[in-house]
Amino acid sequence: MKNKLLLIRYCATCIAGLWFSFTILDFASFQSRQLQPKIVDHQYHSRVDRELLESRNDYPTSTEQSMSTESVFDSWLTEQDRRRKVIQQVCKKSPSLHFSYPSLPRFIYEPYNNILYCRHAKVGTTTWLSEILNHSNLSMNSEGRSSKELHEKVPRLFRLGSIRTLRKKIPTAESFTMVRHPFERIVSAYKDKISINIDPTFAKVRKHILVVYGDLSFKSFTTFIVDQAQHVCRSYSKCGLDLHWLPFVARCGYCQVPYKYLLKAEEFEQEMDNFSLATNVPFTKTQYHKSKGDTRRMVADYFKTVPQHIIDRLKKLYGPDFEMFEYDPDEFFDKKF
């Protein structure tokens, strides 16, 4: 009887030991999966993701209703290839755009989804910071956080350690930036930072414009930009303009960093949907409004107050942006809204 009890106890100990070993191995495997960035095969996109995308009420747009989700996405990938080639062509003929790598604080790298993002002010950055945080493997999310808090905390959470690290990530990361029409962005910056006395960090800029140009009109603001550019932005490699109206080419180094995806804010929702498919990250619908209708008319109305010689100087300052990202500098002047 005693021998039987010893045998039973021995078997129980073995089973418990095996169970414990498998538990430790499974937990270690789970941790390993959590810490490793996702590797996405761009030749394969799951049927489930496509069905989820098709189920959204706002997708596809009215101009795309006759196309399947797959053909819309394939067309988007083709468009991305074309945009990259345009950037390469502009870089090839513009030696002034070739300079050292952009400053590291302009980038965030989220390792779980392998996302590398160079951000521009006034181009939906708050939305992207929120989405990237929400889809990371960190416990915190953007719920209840202000735009200011997101801009302060998210870049710190996902900062790159060195230029060497950036160079190592570029070939395999899901790298992207987003741009918008330069003149529309200037109007947005004016409304958000200058015309309304809310942001205390721009108090000195508002005071300077008021003292030098006599008022805080849009005409005075645009004159301030081109006058300041003469002194602090003689080259795009060392352009000291405020980041809210800094030319795109001066911030994200498009001739140095071969971004996989160039997104445009004018079609924010569609760009986000397709970027979700490309990266296999289910970014959610943004609240960013399309740049159409009243917005375009508003931009045109603002620029009606600006003298032609100031407009010409703005076109020259943002010339590489217009050419590289294929925006029409006369978009708001030659059309009736």
Residues 6+ apart with CB under 8 A from 135: 110, 112, 113, 281, 282, 283
> What is the pairing mode between strands 115-118 and 174-179?
parallel
The structural domains of the chain, with segments of one domain joined by +, span 47-324
Q: What is the DSSP letter of 144?
A: T
pLDDT at 37: 42
Per-residue pLDDT of the chain (337 residues; tens, 9 = 90+): 544 444 445 554 444 444 434 333 333 333 333 334 444 443 333 333 444 444 444 444 555 454 577 899 999 999 999 999 999 999 999 988 988 678 899 999 999 999 999 999 999 999 999 999 999 999 999 999 999 999 999 999 999 999 999 999 999 999 999 999 999 999 999 999 999 877 889 999 999 999 999 999 999 999 999 999 999 999 999 999 999 999 999 999 999 999 999 999 999 999 999 999 999 999 986 555 444 557 889 999 999 999 999 999 999 999 999 999 999 999 998 766 5
- Strand partners of residue 271: none
Q: What is the DSSP letter of 192?
A: I
Cα radius of gyration (the chain): 25
pLDDT at 52: 40
The two three-digit tokens of residue 200, written as one number: 């205390």
Residue 286's nearest CA partner among 159, 137, 130 is 130
Residue 245's nearest CA partner among 276, 218, 285 is 218
pLDDT at 68: 73
pLDDT at 28: 37
Identity of the residue numbered 213: Y
**What's the rounded Cα separation, in Å, for the pair 250 and 214?**
30
**What's the rounded Cα separation, in Å, for the pair 83 and 325?**
8
Report phi then psi at 261, rounded to 5. -135, 130
Give every strand in the sheet of 107-110, ordered side by side. Answer: 107-110, 115-118, 174-179, 261-264
> What is the pairing mode between strands 115-118 and 107-110?
antiparallel
